[in-house]
Structure 1
């Protein structure tokens, strides 16, 4: 996974996905009952299942998980999980597991053709964003978030799951139409350097396993030509109840949901002579496997070392303790590596090292320590690789320090406490993932209460010796794999296989123990002199309180109960980088390196150690039009977050080493950027949309030569020297009266001269007229298309409402035309961007990827759909879909802190009426076919249009 996880979430994620195994499935004659089972008395007790989930099994073998959960309110997450994927395919069926997933949306017994999607869209369920599915090596999962306040829709949701499970029609015409869509999915996601290199890598990474020849996308020649009976056979063989589970979590009655599962799934049957679902392993390798791959379009020099080892599902208390220790090791190692990255002499521009599921879980039962480094050039890759190996060896030989362990334990306890406080506000999707993993891989389903108690216990018992002993096991003498990926032009300078193996064998020589940079400095040396709240007022209807402070700052507060212990905030004032003069602009573009470097005398690594055990975080930002602060905290740590805001305002850090390291890293990123077709195309789009204005052009190597820390730092200080026109928005679980002292101490004390601030209009505008530009870059038959229709307009709530309706309608029609009718694309996108400052402007975008032969045909088809909306407006059905989707999204947003933070901030920035959200439904219902027709005629004006196309180089 790519997004950041705190160490508690990481431990739980590792418990769920780190160790996976495949269960063989036997035909069962069990009747429906709760699966409690009788555990044997063990010295290592099993992790108890959460008592709040009802687990059952029908007589046909189908498993179900049901849980009542009210976050989000009036919503349910319905999933159908199947223990089948591409590994079950015969040789002439490669790709048909994934193809079957597609066909489930193209007609079933009770929902012919596209009726299912149409029905759900009218109920407010978004295709792709909500309604979706995915196929892997040994699993296919269908997801259906659905409202529960409409009884008919809720009941129909289970009917839809049952249709996926055993009632897909597999109409021959629909199969043939879908071939093109899947081929385009392969084109959209591949036909690039990553895919070409992966095709060379998988035979190494999956060597000797069935996985090697069963990639889920399959083989294009089979997808184009397979006989219909082959996919029908696959569906009949493998889509059977004893390999399936229904997961239902949400705001509903558990007994009612159970009865709906019984009613809809009991008639599904298993084959008389079922095919055996086999488990597949990955063979060991005694000697290191090495692969060096280059590609003309690869942009970075990357080296990776992998130490594989076998693993078991963590189902016991000892197993959970082990996953906690692994998570702690990963966190401490990551902290060391991030500290290295900040140093000017670091031999890599990126390094990552962690222990977890091998290649993101490609092969069940295999874990690995995987370390990846990125270097400046091919000639420096060996040095970067050796340095990465050295850090692993440093842990292996010397372990971690007690000071490091203390930091991570504090963070685990803080995160565990926060999770426990929010246990009744946990989103349904989090529980679904637990149950999904339990069914697919056999992991446990611990309750939040159990985790909280167990974490408290383990933090008191886990010793440094135990952590270091487990860390020693991560480097294995066998099952090693070395992979290098690099630009083609670097081929001659890359280290050889022999040198890479030599580096691996000698990595531990001369290594010394890690020296911790112990923090003994406060965040603030003195407490600020507090200001005052000089005025207080209420904004009726939406629960807002406004403070005016003695330094001129405004604070808007919205207390909520959406989370039990979450407070988030942001602030803004006008100015931003628009105020930089042309001579300093290139330096000012790097201004956000300043807050990233730390604060005062504390660099980022020291700051993280200082903040161990607290949830309070704050920082500063400067963008093109605004500067301000942002952060989050639990109530008890809010003072820490506000202290950080104050520190970033009055005591920014000027770190030449960190600044220069970032500039040099940026230089590496730019050096090979033009070998990547996507980067070249993105740069072209940016340049064209800014009419080649010098402030709108992409960054170049020459620009970096002009970047000055002194200029960036002085600009930063200037932007925060006067906070008098800052507006803060604070949302979350707090009491207005209780928060006053903190606001007076840390926000009312910010420096202010009470001057007037504004941003500058530097004249960056898109070009007028009809513009067409084609970029020729790339090696394969893959085209990218970006169409823009844009113009100046009056930025008003009514105009914006109509524009949104036109966009939504166009999105439906483009999908129907380009994907369903033409079978020419996989996921076309329609976008709408509205800006009020520095000038009011709207941008409609239509974008897609396709074969080069279809570019003109699909562009013409897109413009035909644009013209149809101009002539006819939105149909009644399309308006119903749009209104339902929008209303459902607003309903969810009104119970979400982030929604309110963004909504209030946006209204304040554009000067709109904050209370307009109260009449959103009435304004939405006022949108009609005629109003969308009028809006389309006014705003879909092709007089100002831009056509940008990326084609392979000639």
Structure 2
């Protein structure tokens, strides 16, 4: 179970465009009086507003007030996404009930009318649902949501799903023994979620909304109230707020709405309130004025956040086209400012490494507008000055026509793409968007409706209107000047807030001039090469719809047209050996190189100019460096396939290597490394993989001191050898015609100079697993939580039957840990077991059990994990365990085989070197279905050897360095 995001922080404006239409992370023109209470109207948003919903939605409401919305959707095939949204969350708790909405969400998995304690999760697994991805729940300030992803749309499956949701709605047993047991799990979750980011969020919220109820009702609750929870108190919250008129059922998927309607009525029409209704709590008001500084120090943060912000109440007005246009206008203004910030970031001597300008509404009665940036702690004052000047420049001077034109093109392209993608949108995503709209009292519309309503408006939008919207958003008579993170701000005569206020006041005294007009960049790589390509081999694989072509120059082309995603084309241009070829004396080179190339743009266009030249396009290409290969990965739309090929060709023959990109990448790496080194989760990422690989520097993250010794010349020299000489394999999957792709590939890649196809590749090397060894990592943190990993050496990926059986063995292992460590011991909230077989390193693979723990419980939990492994070795697995591991896997495979990404990245990419990948796709379902208990037991006997296990234990040590020299291996 998970807590929903508390706020949609850093919602960039292009994302906000989609959010305006999809999940309501938008903005609003101010006006009207503040709202004291949100209220439940038990009406659909389109019934109170002036905007039509998606015509494919079917709405229903029962006499008891229970509502439901149904949408037939065939992607993925057979799947049905079901959700019960209860309009009750943490804001509805009393002082003594803090955390009870979330506690109750947990309890609904621990015994109900039709599912005794411990049976619901097993039931999900038996019908082919994976607890977690397919069956889960979340608690927020205003809503609690329960999610089920059915493996098929058969009437009996839907009836069972409705039975489960009906039990959530009114059938909780809330047994006292289960309350006591789950209390330990929730305290473990509280410990797991504690972080520098979470603490900063809580303190920031108290400053921003001191009189608003949400700052006093964080969904996780307090330790004191969780310890005081009992059946009577939880039942009081359940009976009071889980009422039929506060519930909405959302169903999207491959089913017949007409057939489902009577099933819903039968399950929910008899619901009645179990307790008297209580009034909606007073949400409070925002009352900021003047300049208000805020400071919060978190030494374990990797950087410092500096923010200028205004925040105010807004009325809860009905949804309307006018409201959508106002919000869209502000989103366009914010994106113009965002583009300016992006350009500033890539200039030499800029004090920050990332920045955002955005607006958002959350909770529904509160409006934020902010400009924010992340920097080194010593740069907070310079960062504040740049943000202030950028903001005042945008307020005092009109936006240029070129800036407006670029953003309008991007927004119009996003609307057009959404329409063309609409027919293959995935059901879980659609369900989430419908719930997001309902949660914000917004109307869910089809992409076509949105385009028809807003495209003409965008085209006619003037710079004056956009500038006025931006000025209006920042019109309130206050500024919140906020600095948080790892900056120590102190002076003998002044407190931090006074120093922040003084720095801001100094900045605002500096006049700002109008922005310089930027030259409009154009994309220069338009004409295809003139050489003629010759095909030397063509192979059709009819049963899989795959075509394989070899050009005379040694380039391999793999093609698979699909209909999985309308108007989507994806591509991988693979070459070289990737990270496995990283020189031993240059640790971190792969990570740095990937970021430098992506940040540099192209040889004749830096990244800013490239993005400007591609305004209004839906095609992007980026470098990815995996263990086994370099790859330029592309994502495009059908009509832009020529542009996709032009970009791939340009990335290959004219890559960019820029000092400014290198410097920015190095600073971002430093911030990331510093943040990771001060959390237990980060320490695992930094040092766990390297320890399990016998110290090989290609694993884990390289120390910043090592990375800082790299140069741009190191990056360019390493990559150019592969770019210019390594064999090329281009794989394309998606909504295209084979003839079109072949023509383009012939022009742009078949005509390249011949590649050294027969050049032997050097060995990746043998990885030495540290059998029987333990690594203890002390982390400099005041957050009291630990993390352990118990790892067993396995094997590489290439014996696919063994690999598949090891994956099922790890699923059984993971479920045993859930039952023993979480459910019985209450020692952990999060635990997982998984097998990772290498593609690049012969004979190397690791099966890991990773568990978040109390620091003092580390050794006890390690023993429990080893006991689980020993039990599997001695006794094997049960038929029930095997089925509960296999059935969700088989359901997931059916989904996987309907995804472009699977065919591109798992089947085609790299198939020139490993043609067996293609055959694997034919046998996957049958082979998994044939797995037996005895096979798993034999693998357990071979690999789950506790004498060979390696242990990683990470614990907090106040004052410890948290660096490699502070580690202890044994």
SS in 2 for 1:837: coil
After TM superposition, the structure 1 = structure 2 runs for residues 132-281 of structure 1, keeping only pairs within 5 Å, are 132-190=136-194, 192-271=195-274, 273-281=276-284
SS in 1 for 2:952: strand
Summarize deviations over 1:402-457 as a string: whole Å, max 9, x none. 11111111122222122111222122233323432343321112222211212321
After TM superposition, the structure 1 = structure 2 runs for residues 78-157 of structure 1, keeping only pairs within 5 Å, are 78-157=82-161
Report the Cα distance in structure 1 between the residues aligned to 2:826 and 2:936, rounded to whole angstroms.
28
Of 735, 754, 767, the match for 2:756: 754
Which residue does the alignment assign to 2:853?
A: 850
Q: Which runs of 5+ in 2 are unaligned?
A: 1-7, 29-33, 959-970
Asked if residue 376 in structure 1 is aligned to residue 394 in structure 2, the reply is no
Report the Cα distance in structure 2 between the residues aligned to 1:780 and 1:417, rounded to whole angstroms.
47
SS in 1 for 2:76: coil
SS in 2 for 1:469: helix
Cα 1:375–1:495 change in 2 (3 A) is farther
Report the Cα distance in structure 2 between the residues aligned to 1:584 and 1:779, rounded to whole angstroms.
33
Report the Cα distance in structure 1 between the residues aligned to 2:665 and 2:797, rounded to whole angstroms.
41
SS in 1 for 2:392: helix
Kept in 1, the 8 Å contact 2:561–2:735? The answer is yes
Shift of 1:568: 0.4
Number of matched residues? Answer: 936
Which residue does the alignment assign to 1:501?
A: 501
Kept in 1, the 8 Å contact 2:11–2:360? The answer is no
SS in 1 for 2:358: strand
Which residue does the alignment assign to 1:351?
A: 355
Summarize deviations over 1:86-107 as a string: whole Å, max 9, x none. 1111222111111010011111
Report the Cα distance in structure 2 between the residues aligned to 1:730 and 1:239, rounded to whole angstroms.
50
Report the Cα distance in structure 1 between the residues aligned to 2:591 and 2:221, rounded to whole angstroms.
45
Summarize deviations over 1:278-320 as a string: whole Å, max 9, x none. 3413331113332222234233222222211333456111111
Which residue does the alignment assign to 2:3?
A: none
Q: Which runs of 5+ in 1 are unaligned?
A: 40-44
SS in 2 for 1:591: helix
Report the Cα distance in structure 1 between the residues aligned to 2:410 and 2:45, rounded to whole angstroms.
36
Which residue does the alignment assign to 1:366?
A: 366
Kept in 2, the 8 Å contact 1:523–1:643? The answer is no
Report the Cα distance in structure 2 between the residues aligned to 1:783 and 1:588, rounded to whole angstroms.
30
Which residue does the alignment assign to 2:5?
A: none
Report the Cα distance in structure 1 between the residues aligned to 2:877 and 2:909, rounded to whole angstroms.
28
Shift of 1:579: 4.0
Which residue does the alignment assign to 2:785?
A: 782
Cα 1:782–1:798 change in 2 (3 A) is same
Kept in 2, the 8 Å contact 1:47–1:444? The answer is yes
SS in 2 for 1:349: strand
Cα 1:314–1:568 change in 2 (3 A) is farther
Cα 1:806–1:450 change in 2 (3 A) is same
Kept in 1, the 8 Å contact 2:555–2:755? The answer is no
Cα 1:579–1:814 change in 2 (3 A) is closer
Shift of 1:756: 2.9
Report the Cα distance in structure 1 between the residues aligned to 2:923 and 2:626, rounded to whole angstroms.
32
Kept in 1, the 8 Å contact 2:66–2:245? The answer is yes
Cα 1:7–1:110 change in 2 (3 A) is closer
Cα 1:753–1:542 change in 2 (3 A) is closer
Report the Cα distance in structure 1 between the residues aligned to 2:620 and 2:197, rounded to whole angstroms.
36
Cα 1:237–1:837 change in 2 (3 A) is same
Asked if residue 25 in structure 1 is aligned to residue 28 in structure 2, the reply is no
Of 602, 605, 608, the match for 2:608: 605
Kept in 1, the 8 Å contact 2:582–2:698? The answer is no
Kept in 2, the 8 Å contact 1:382–1:495? The answer is no
Of 860, 877, 882, the match for 1:874: 877
Kept in 1, the 8 Å contact 2:548–2:558? The answer is yes
Kept in 2, the 8 Å contact 1:722–1:751? The answer is no
Kept in 2, the 8 Å contact 1:595–1:648? The answer is no
Report the Cα distance in structure 2 between the residues aligned to 1:856 and 1:588, rounded to whole angstroms.
35
Shift of 1:207: 0.4
Summarize deviations over 1:637-696 as a string: whole Å, max 9, x none. 111111111111111223223223333443455567644454444333144123234454
Report the Cα distance in structure 1 between the residues aligned to 2:821 and 2:399, rounded to whole angstroms.
56
Report the Cα distance in structure 1 between the residues aligned to 2:275 and 2:839, rounded to whole angstroms.
65
Cα 1:907–1:761 change in 2 (3 A) is closer
Report the Cα distance in structure 1 between the residues aligned to 2:540 and 2:742, rounded to whole angstroms.
15
Report the Cα distance in structure 2 between the residues aligned to 1:408 and 1:397, rounded to whole angstroms.
20
SS in 2 for 1:788: strand
Shift of 1:767: 3.2
SS in 2 for 1:407: helix
Kept in 1, the 8 Å contact 2:89–2:219? The answer is yes
Query: Greater CA deviation, 280-289 or 78-87?
Result: 280-289
Shift of 1:573: 2.7
Report the Cα distance in structure 1 between the residues aligned to 2:908 and 2:364, rounded to whole angstroms.
46
Report the Cα distance in structure 2 between the residues aligned to 1:354 and 1:653, rounded to whole angstroms.
30
Kept in 2, the 8 Å contact 1:827–1:848? The answer is yes
Which residue does the alignment assign to 1:523?
A: 524
Which residue does the alignment assign to 1:464?
A: 463
After TM superposition, the structure 1 = structure 2 runs for residues 44-55 of structure 1, keeping only pairs within 5 Å, are 46-55=50-59
Report the Cα distance in structure 2 between the residues aligned to 1:455 and 1:935, rounded to whole angstroms.
59
Summarize deviations over 1:463-494 as a string: whole Å, max 9, x none. 11111110112224435323222337665599
Shift of 1:701: 4.0
Report the Cα distance in structure 2 between the residues aligned to 1:468 and 1:808, rounded to whole angstroms.
55
Of 565, 572, 575, the match for 1:570: 572
Cα 1:364–1:904 change in 2 (3 A) is same
Summarize deviations over 1:827-876 as a string: whole Å, max 9, x none. 21112100132212221111111212322222211111111111222211
SS in 1 for 2:312: strand
Report the Cα distance in structure 2 between the residues aligned to 1:306 and 1:267, rounded to whole angstroms.
49
After TM superposition, the structure 1 = structure 2 runs for residues 678-827 of structure 1, keeping only pairs within 5 Å, are 678-696=681-699, 698-723=701-726, 725-761=727-763, 763=765, 765-777=767-779, 778-792=781-795, 795-827=798-830
Shift of 1:806: 0.5
Which residue does the alignment assign to 2:310?
A: 307
Q: Report the aligned-residue RMSD.
A: 2.6
Which residue does the alignment assign to 1:42?
A: none
Shift of 1:722: 2.3
Query: Greater CA deviation, 7-16 or 889-898?
Result: 7-16
Summarize deviations over 1:764-805 as a string: whole Å, max 9, x none. 624332011222233243211111111446831211121111
Kept in 2, the 8 Å contact 1:811–1:830? The answer is yes
SS in 1 for 2:357: strand
Report the Cα distance in structure 1 between the residues aligned to 2:812 and 2:460, rounded to whole angstroms.
59
Cα 1:152–1:218 change in 2 (3 A) is same
Kept in 1, the 8 Å contact 2:27–2:330? The answer is no
Report the Cα distance in structure 2 between the residues aligned to 1:617 and 1:852, rounded to whole angstroms.
44
Kept in 2, the 8 Å contact 1:560–1:734? The answer is yes
Of 63, 66, 73, the match for 1:69: 73
Kept in 1, the 8 Å contact 2:785–2:956? The answer is yes
Report the Cα distance in structure 2 between the residues aligned to 1:666 and 1:66, rounded to whole angstroms.
46
Shift of 1:602: 0.5
Kept in 1, the 8 Å contact 2:308–2:479? The answer is yes
Cα 1:706–1:171 change in 2 (3 A) is same
SS in 2 for 1:285: coil
Report the Cα distance in structure 2 between the residues aligned to 1:87 and 1:328, rounded to whole angstroms.
33
Report the Cα distance in structure 1 between the residues aligned to 2:579 and 2:450, rounded to whole angstroms.
46
Cα 1:672–1:251 change in 2 (3 A) is closer
Compute the TM-score of the two structures, normalised by the length of structure 2.
Answer: 0.92
Kept in 2, the 8 Å contact 1:343–1:658? The answer is no
Report the Cα distance in structure 2 between the residues aligned to 1:487 and 1:102, rounded to whole angstroms.
35
